[in-house]
Amino acid sequence: MAKGGFGGGFPGNMQDMMKQAQKMQEQLAKLQEDAKEEEAEGSAGGGMVKVVASGSQEIRSLQIEKEVVNPDDIEMLQDLIVAAANEALKNVQGKVQEKMSKITGGMNIPGLGGF
């Protein structure tokens, strides 16, 4: 039977794995902090409504062109705002996910999907 039960080099490999995991954890913590400053835009109605969202899932700005404001059709304006906001949030999540996959090597780590 082999000494150590795992074939000689395991303790060193385990140490390296722990160091890599700790480094990845530090990088992910920094990414979470940096993600708050990340921004992306979404638009609807051919750019008549624009929304900027942050990586912390907050709406930072909303721009509505006056031509799209029709007091007789408030529902259309509401729909455009929702569509633009959802696109902005999706776009900023994509940016954060892309940066995260560079750190994790594409590994899906439960609990880190959204910030």
pLDDT tens readout for residues 11-31: 668 888 888 878 878 877 887
pLDDT at 79 (0 to 100): 97
Q: Which residue did the predictor score with more confidence, 85 or 98?
A: 85
Across the range 66-94, mean pLDDT stands at 96
Residues paired with 52 in a beta bridge: 41, 61
Model-wide pTM > 0.75: no
Is 90 exceeded by the pLDDT of residue 107?
A: no
pLDDT at 1 (0 to 100): 46
Q: Find out if CATH 3.30.1310.10 is the number for domain 10-104.
A: yes
pLDDT grade, residue 92 (50/70/90)?
very high
Question: Residues near 51 by Cβ (< 8 Å), separated by ≥ 6?
Answer: 41, 42, 43, 59, 61, 62, 63, 81, 84, 85, 87, 88
Q: Which of 79, 76, 28, 88 is nearest to 52 (CA)?
A: 88
